[in-house]
Amino acid sequence: MAAKAKASVAASTFRLGGWAQRRATGSARLTGEAEAAKENLVAFQQEIARLRDEKVRMATGHATAGRSFVKLAPSLVAQRRDGIEA
């Protein structure tokens, strides 16, 4: 009976070793995926910041163009009134 118990313990130890190895492999894979996800998140956040900056530049450009048009509008009205097409 003792030999059977020793064999059972050896088999359990072997299975436990395999289980631990699979867990270590899975953990390493998940760590790699987490690092890749972190890099993607950082890149995404940088892209968002770049787009925000671009939005501000475009809004500033539109505001500047709007002010220029407001300054130009009276002369356009005068030209049309005089029959001159712009």
Read off the pLDDT band of 40 (50, 70, 90). Answer: very high
Entry field: residues in the chain: 86
Section 3-26 average pLDDT = 75
Going 55 to 61 to 64 to 65, the CA torsion angle's sign is negative
15: its two tokens: 């299975």
Amino acid identity, position 84: I
Q: Look over the chain and give the mean of its residue pLDDT values, rounded to a whole number.
A: 78
**DSSP label at residue 1:** -
Q: What are the Cα distances from residue 72, in Å, to 44, 60, 66, 68? A: 41, 18, 10, 6
For residue 28, pLDDT beyond 50: yes
For residue 15, pLDDT beyond 50: yes
For residue 80, pLDDT beyond 80: no
The pTM (predicted TM-score) of the whole model is: 0.51
